[in-house]
Structure 1
Amino acid sequence: MPLLWLFLIVLAIAATAFVLSRSRVLAMSGQDRRTLHSLPNYYGSNAAMKSAIPALLVLVIWLLAQPFYVNNAVSGMIPDSAIADSSSRGLVLAEVRRAADGLDLAVARGEMSEDEARNLRTDFTDVTTRLENAGAIVTSQITQPILRAAQRFRVMNTIGSQIMAVVVLLIALAGAFWAFRETDPVFRARNTVEQGIRALLIAAASIAILTTLGIVLSLVFNTIEFFRLYPASEFFFGTNWAPSFSGRGGASDLGILPLLWGTFYISIVALIVAVPIGLFAAIYLSEYASPRVRAFAKPMLEVLAGIPTIVYGLFALLTVGPLLVEVFGDDGLGWMQSGTAVMTAGLVMGIMLIPFVSSLSDDIINAVPQSMRDGSYGLGATQSETIRQVVLPAALPGIVGAILLAASRAIGETMIVVLGAGAAARLSLNPFEAMTTVTAKIVSQLTGDSDFASPEALVAFALGMTLFVITLGLNIFALYIVRKYREQYE
């Protein structure tokens, strides 16, 4: 049964349970709602929740658990002799899944019958040809172990989906029957429904925490696997980044220092551009601009934050880079050889960060009480003196926190540095040379058909974990600064 149909059937059962339970309680009360503990809709909602929520919860858990069970069962069918030296079990399982999808496609298009797909025993070159004729994607010739594993994969998924549909529908019907039986005028349906809604809200609030936990755990486990294959000392203190996908990591230099230097260098250039402009814009909007100008200028400034970063990257590649080459290149000062450089990415990233700095700083400056400004004016200070000596010192902790948050945003940027900074991992002070960052190398290391069990692929998780720790530290430091030095005003 298609998943959409199963979902709609569960919703239909819940809707039917709602109507029946509501009608039952009204009939039992003789249409006199005053004899009911709760409103009739609460009785219907109780029946709908007890029929739909447990069934959908089982459906989600089943969909998450079935792939793990099937993959483990199919993986045991593949002997070690069927795995080439240049491959891994993960790549073979990917080929098994592609072959299974090809068999499904061949059956759907009439290239072979369902019985033939389950019991196919023929020349394996012919199998590959027939799957390709059906439009399936097959990256290599199908061997006997792969074909048998693909057939087993299809059978287990089909049986699992059928059992899942039966179990989910039985749970939905059982929940509806249970709620229908307990429907009674004295039943505290409102309390039950409110408790269920509270549990749903808690579950929704927990999704973000669980997602973060899952991301961190995936980074941690793959990082540990990487350090089993590559020395941690060479990774953290190495000054050369030269991955080689020809072997199992023996010919690769995976030192992170050039990548960290490029990341921090570009971020510093971006902050040099964004902080003065953003801070001055915030001061103007909060202290000098009229309400009419502010109502127009602030939304226009914040439009920059809604532009996709790939657009900024194209702007750096096609506009800012050639402009800098014209000024600082061979025809100008002779400092810059190509449009991809630290300065290119830093300038464009700084433009992108202006809304972060200006909007946060503007809100922080506006939070300074007007009475402090009035007191300064009463002592004879001018408006500029009031801003320098009263407003900015009072708002300084928040402004520092905004700058640190913008710095963490700059460190995690990808598309601008991919298109504007180049791909060279080097330690240099020249801002007109091409460099790369941690995020750019994470993209490049996970792109292609490399063995996922190799250090060259697993290093992306070590890079991601390092970047995660750095940005987390910056965010914690920003919150510490804001909380420690902020002023409380009435």
Structure 2
Amino acid sequence: MSATGGTTPSPTGSPGPLGRARTRYGENAVRVVLVAAALVSVATTVGIVVSLVPPTVEFFEAVSPVEFFTGTEWAPLFEPAAYGVLPLVGATLLITLIAVVVAIPLGLGAALYLSEYAHARTRGVFKPVLEVLAGVPTVVYGFFALRFVTPALQAYLPPGLQPDIFNALAAGLVMGVMIVPTVASLSEDAMAAVPGGLRDGAYALGSSTRLVAVRVVVPAALSGIVASFVLAVSRAIGETMIVAIASGNKPALSLNPLDAMQTMTGFIAQAGSGDLPTGSLDYKTIFAVGALLFLITLVMNVISARLVRRYREVYE
């Protein structure tokens, strides 16, 4: 109470603790915008599921799921038709594996350099240049794989190891380069979030920069690093233009990366750009393969969330 017996105004201008707070229209507007943004992402996911499920169910009413998931021949657009999806899945996983083998060492090494070794000015130059790779259209990467990487492999590999004009190796190598910025940028952000006190304590004990980076920073930022790996793998699995241009359109169940192959996304791009009658069984194969691709990506995201929660480090 004030000397005159009135209520002392609060610093925010409200009448006091028992008074009615002033309505904050700006906060309410921001809350509405953020909720709308969250609902858009949820609605998009629901819309994808709704668009995939009915044609997929109709497809499996005509084709046995056992044949689809265990068959080794994929020829839905020919006579006699074959609906074994394993060649598409195998090609997708093989090209993704090649991309991961390229991207994870390069991306993690770049992140360690930018986070622990590079000066601030060097980091300010290198990181934007590295992230420019993420903005290059994937069709450019596809033609780069077809017109540069494949001829280089044909020129430098021994005669018995000559790749086809369309091959999984060139597509995987270039796809690995494409996802390097994803691994490097997200991993570097996770490492930069590690408290400086951990580094200072390790240096005070006489540790070298290498030991601090490997034994302190990487374990502390492991959840973010794992998340960057899973995100990069998810992007590699869902990539379309590179594999459509460089790996070919030949469904083949093979472990030889020098052969031409067709991935799930490559088939979707090929069939979706053709003249398939809407509602036909051939048309529904697009949705069946798309649903499988969506399921694989969903499982990877669930695994990623579990790994992030398991290895998350919380600091005060």
TM normalised by structure 1 equals 0.57
Q: Which residue of 1 aligns with 2:146?
A: 317
Q: Which residue of 1 aligns with 2:279?
A: 453
Give unmatched runs, 5+ long, in structure 1: 1-189
1:303 equivalent to 2:136? Answer no
- Match of 2:143, SS state, is helix
- Pick aligned residue for 1:267 from 89, 96, 121: 96
Relative to structure 1, the CA distance from residue 372 to residue 203 in structure 2 (aligned partners, 3 Å threshold; closer, same or farther) is closer
Alpha-carbon separation, structure 2, partners of 1:195 and 1:206: 16
Relative to structure 1, the CA distance from residue 427 to residue 294 in structure 2 (aligned partners, 3 Å threshold; closer, same or farther) is same
Relative to structure 1, the CA distance from residue 380 to residue 462 in structure 2 (aligned partners, 3 Å threshold; closer, same or farther) is same
- Match of 2:159, SS state, is coil
Alpha-carbon separation, structure 2, partners of 1:269 and 1:200: 41
Q: Which residue of 2 aligns with 1:290?
A: 119
Relative to structure 1, the CA distance from residue 262 to residue 209 in structure 2 (aligned partners, 3 Å threshold; closer, same or farther) is same
Compute the displacement of 1:398 (Å): 2.1
- Match of 1:334, SS state, is helix
Alpha-carbon separation, structure 1, partners of 2:106 and 2:28: 51
Corresponding letter in the other structure for 1:243:
P
* Matched-pair identity in %: 48
Relative to structure 1, the CA distance from residue 342 to residue 195 in structure 2 (aligned partners, 3 Å threshold; closer, same or farther) is closer
Relative to structure 1, the CA distance from residue 456 to residue 347 in structure 2 (aligned partners, 3 Å threshold; closer, same or farther) is same
Q: Which residue of 1 aligns with 2:45?
A: 212
1:441 equivalent to 2:267? Answer yes
Compute the displacement of 1:193 (Å): 11
Q: Which residue of 1 aligns with 2:250?
A: 424
Compute the displacement of 1:450 (Å): 2.0
Alpha-carbon separation, structure 2, partners of 1:239 and 1:217: 29
Give unmatched runs, 5+ long, in structure 2: 1-22
Relative to structure 1, the CA distance from residue 445 to residue 285 in structure 2 (aligned partners, 3 Å threshold; closer, same or farther) is same
Q: Is the 8 A contact 1:304 1:352 kept in 2?
A: yes
* Bigger Rg, structure 1 or 2: 1
Q: Which residue of 2 aligns with 1:407?
A: 233
Relative to structure 1, the CA distance from residue 195 to residue 268 in structure 2 (aligned partners, 3 Å threshold; closer, same or farther) is closer
- Match of 1:434, SS state, is coil
Alpha-carbon separation, structure 2, partners of 1:194 and 1:373: 39
Compute the displacement of 1:201 (Å): 6.3
* Per-residue Cα deviation, 1:397-418 (whole angstroms, up to 9, x for no partner): 3212211111011000000001
1:228 equivalent to 2:61? Answer yes
TM normalised by structure 2 equals 0.87
Relative to structure 1, the CA distance from residue 214 to residue 289 in structure 2 (aligned partners, 3 Å threshold; closer, same or farther) is same
- Pick aligned residue for 1:276 from 85, 105, 118: 105
* Per-residue Cα deviation, 1:184-228 (whole angstroms, up to 9, x for no partner): xxxxxx999998997676455423322221111110111001111
Corresponding letter in the other structure for 2:121:
R
List, as ranges, runs of 4+ consecutive aligned residues in structure 1 with deviation greater than 3 Å. Answer: 190-205
Relative to structure 1, the CA distance from residue 200 to residue 481 in structure 2 (aligned partners, 3 Å threshold; closer, same or farther) is closer
Q: Is the 8 A contact 2:76 2:285 kept in 1?
A: no
Q: How many positions carry a matched residue from both structures? A: 294
Relative to structure 1, the CA distance from residue 475 to residue 200 in structure 2 (aligned partners, 3 Å threshold; closer, same or farther) is closer
Corresponding letter in the other structure for 1:358:
A
Alpha-carbon separation, structure 2, partners of 1:299 and 1:378: 32
The 5 Å alignment of 1:355-434 reads 355-434=181-260
Alpha-carbon separation, structure 2, partners of 1:267 and 1:473: 16
